[in-house]
């Protein structure tokens, strides 16, 4: 769905999500964070104030100096992470 690189780009992406045309939405993490080395992944769900539209997906993020500097966004329903 999208890929952002650099701390400023990630910040802009998050601010854009908050300005959804249907109103300020809620982004909630709905899985544990799986973090091998400097990469992490987690599932999320986004809903608007009236309960829709609903979008679910998975983010894969890269950490540099304990800050997210890359986000790769996959939208759609996914199976749980393999153990």
| Alpha carbon distance 51, 71 (integer Å) | 25
Q: Pick one of 3.20.10.10, 3.40.50.2300, 3.10.450.50, 3.40.50.10680 as the CATH number of 2-75.
A: 3.10.450.50
Three-state SS for 56?
strand
Task: Find the Cα–Cα–Cα–Cα dihedral 5, 58, 27, 13, rounded to 10°.
Answer: 20
Per-residue pLDDT of the chain (83 residues; tens, 9 = 90+): 556 677 787 777 777 777 777 677 788 888 999 988 899 999 988 887 777 667 888 889 998 888 888 888 887 765 655 54
> Distance of CA 16 to CAs 20, 37, 56, Å?
7, 28, 17
């Amino acid at each position: 769905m999208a890929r952002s690189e650099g701390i400023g780009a990630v910040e802009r992406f998050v601010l854009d999500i908050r300005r959804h045309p249907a109103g300020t939405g809620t982004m909630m993490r709905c899985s544990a964070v799986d973090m091998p080395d400097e990469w992490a992944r987690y599932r999320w769900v986004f809903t608007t104030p009236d309960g829709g539209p609903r979008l679910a997906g998975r983010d894969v993020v890269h950490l540099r100096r304990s800050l997210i500097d890359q986000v790769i966004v996959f939208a759609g329903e996914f199976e749980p992470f393999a153990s």
